[in-house]
Structure 1
Amino acid sequence: MFGFCFSVGTAIAADDVVLDSDVAKVGSELAAEVNAEQISVEQAEEMGLNRAETYEISSTVSVENLELQIAEKLKESIMPYYSIEFNDPTSDDNNYRAIVTEYFSKVE
């Protein structure tokens, strides 16, 4: 279902145009809006973090709308870390989607 697993890395539009700048913008704007720290899935594994919750967020409007929805969801969270994986839409699917995973510190 998801062809790319990047933490604010690369998103692909329905016309197969890479949206690197839009995705980077989402990452920087989220960093300013939420208290949690964005990390990659690999970093979470290396740090030994525990997964708290994973959810999908989608928008048929724009990457900016997707970012607003992600920010609203993360503002409600008390988890200190999160990662975002953007989708690779098919030509018949114009949705912008992201999988957001929230993490908490390793329990000692």
Structure 2
Amino acid sequence: MTLLATGSLLVAGSVAAGNDVVVDSDVTKVTQVLAAEVKAERITVEQAKEMELNRAETYEVTSTVSVDNLGMQISEKLKDSIMPYYSIEFNDPTSDDESYKAVVTEYFGKVE
């Protein structure tokens, strides 16, 4: 998987647009929806390691409809979560299947 991003996520270079990939502009849309609807803070996997956070749960979200639908599904899952942080990895642009995918990882604070 390639980690794409805007804001606090990491951009893994430009990608060719295709019907089955999540590209930079799509990431921006999803990011805006999540920022408005989710209380948790979006971070990168690297930030989670630096902050010594613990991974609570990792799950894949898939939509065969649209990127907007993918964002809505991610938002619904994160709204129900009590974890304070999350990261998102979007599908690899070389994927041959016809769905939009994201792997969401939720984190909680360092246990002392």
Same fold (TM over 0.5): yes
Partner of 1:86: 90
Root-mean-square deviation (CA, aligned residues, Å) is: 2.2
User: Is 1:75–2:79 an aligned residue pair?
Assistant: yes
In structure 2, do the counterparts of structure 1 residues 12 and 50 end up closer, same or farther at CA, with 3 Å as the change threshold? Answer: farther
Structure 1 runs not aligned, ≥5 long: none
**Structure 1 residue 53 corresponds to structure 2 residue 51:** no
Matches of 1:80 and 1:100, distance apart in 2: 13
Q: CA deviation at 1:29?
A: 1.4
Show the counterpart of 2:3.
5
TM-score by length of 2: 0.83
Would the aligned equivalents of 2:20 and 2:100 in 1 still touch at CA under 8 Å?
Answer: no
Q: Does the CA contact (< 8 Å) of 2:4 and 2:23 recur in 1? A: no
Aligned counterpart for 1:24 among listed residues 23, 28, 35: 28
CA contact (8 A) 1:14 1:94 kept: no
User: What percentage of aligned pairs have identical amino acids?
Assistant: 65
2:88 and 2:105 in contact (8 A); partners too:
yes
- Residue 41, structure 1, aligned to residue 45, structure 2: yes
Amino acid at match of 2:83: M
Q: Take 1:12 and 1:83, find their aligned partners in 2: how far apart are those partners?
A: 23
Q: What is the TM-score when the length of structure 1 is the normalising length?
A: 0.86
* Pair 12,94 (structure 1): closer, same or farther in 2 beyond 3 Å: farther
Distance 1:71 1:47 in 2: 24
Cα distance change on mapping 1:90 and 1:30 into 2, 3 Å: same
Say if 1:12 and 1:18, in contact at 8 Å, map to a contact too.
Answer: no
Is 1:106 the equivalent of 2:105?
no
